[in-house]
Amino acid sequence: DTAVSQTPKYLVTQMGNDKSIKCEQNLGHDTMYWYKQDSKKFLKIMFSYNNKELIINETVPNRFSPKSPDKAHLNLHINSLELGDSAVYFCASSHKHSGTKLGQETQYFGPGTRLLVL
Amino acid sequence: AQSVTQLGSHVSVSEGALVLLRCNYSSSVPPYLFWYVQYPNQGLQLLLKYTSAATLVKGINGFEAEFKKSETSFHLTKPSAHMSDAAEYFCAVSPSVTGGSYIPTFGRGTSLIVHP
């Protein structure tokens, strides 16, 4: 069973198009994230949702809009795609267990969606 | 603000040699520290983490790391490299404050190359 899954795995599209990436986790976690990894492997957090509510929204263009229909899903919609959006996008999830402190959680990553904008 | 610096974007070792990947952190509060590994075309997975218990942390696949507060370091080691260890390794730090949200900060990664 896949813990954190993303679709599609590859996405090739033209500049100006709108696209969505879907993420699902079956771990029962309460927090989900979107990360962007650039061509130099630098990993940057974009958004974080806890129990369907947005808790972290880093400096990301308004063209990126996350949506969490329920705790197990966090989708990412991108409008008017630009060349600079080409990257690998990772979904991740985590859960704060009782007896642990905030910040100790392990992040579980999906396999990534490789986006190429032409 | 928290940050991590990984010295060396690439580290090359021979199979069977010691692996040492360096990570230094900067944090205004006691940190939690993590090492993640990313195999080609995969997502990141946790190798080990320090959460203020034992300073020497053992992880999966024979890796371990030691938290040294005086040196603000959390270097990753493995006594004997295997070909299968070739991957990208990320050090990460998060604040240990309670309540509110936190943002884990990742280093820029170190690519481990293992030669036969």
Residue to mutate among A5, A6, A41, with most B CBs inside 10 A, is: A41
pLDDT at B99: 41
**A110 in B contact zone (CB under 8 Å):** yes
Pair of tokens at residue A23: 């993420």
pLDDT at B101: 56
**A45 in B contact zone (CB under 8 Å):** yes
Omega prior to B40 cis, within 30 of 0: no
Rounded percentage of chain B residues whose pLDDT exceeds 70: 92
Q: What is the pLDDT of residues A7-16, one digit of tens each?
A: 999 999 999 9
**Cβ separation A41–B103 shorter than 8 A:** no
Q: Is the dihedral of CA B32, B1, A94, A46 positive or negative?
A: negative
Q: What is the pLDDT of residues B5-39, one digit of tens each?
A: 999 999 999 999 999 999 999 887 788 999 999 99
**A10 in B contact zone (CB under 8 Å):** no
pLDDT at A1: 65
**Cβ separation B108–A50 shorter than 8 A:** no
**Cβ separation B43–A4 shorter than 8 A:** yes
Q: What is the pLDDT of residues B35-69, one digit of tens each?
A: 999 999 899 999 999 988 789 999 999 999 999 99
Measured between beta carbons, the chain A residues lying within 8 angstroms of B40 are none
pLDDT at B97: 46
**Which H or E run includes A116?**
strand A113-117
**A97 in B contact zone (CB under 8 Å):** no
pLDDT at B17: 98
Overall size of chain A counted in residues: 118
Q: What is the pLDDT of residues A67-82, one digit of tens each?
A: 999 999 999 999 999 9
How far apart, in whole angstroms, are the C-alpha atoms of residue B65 and residue B67? 7
Q: How far apart are the first and last CA of chain A?
A: 34
Q: What is the pLDDT of residues B71-108, one digit of tens each?
A: 999 999 999 999 999 999 999 998 744 445 566 889 99
Count A/B contacts: CB-CB distance under 8 Å.
Answer: 69
Let me know: does B50 contact A110? Beta carbons within 8 Å: no
**B97 in A contact zone (CB under 8 Å):** yes
Residue to mutate among A34, A49, A104, A113, with most B CBs inside 10 A, is: A104
CA B28, distance to chain mean position in Å, is 19
**Cβ separation A103–B109 shorter than 8 A:** no
A114 to A7, A105, B5: CA distances (angstroms):
10, 26, 26
Rounded to the nearest integer, the mean pLDDT of chain A is 91
Contacts of A33 (CB under 8 A, 6+ apart): A45, A46, A47, A48, A49, A56, A74, A91, A92, A93, A94, A107
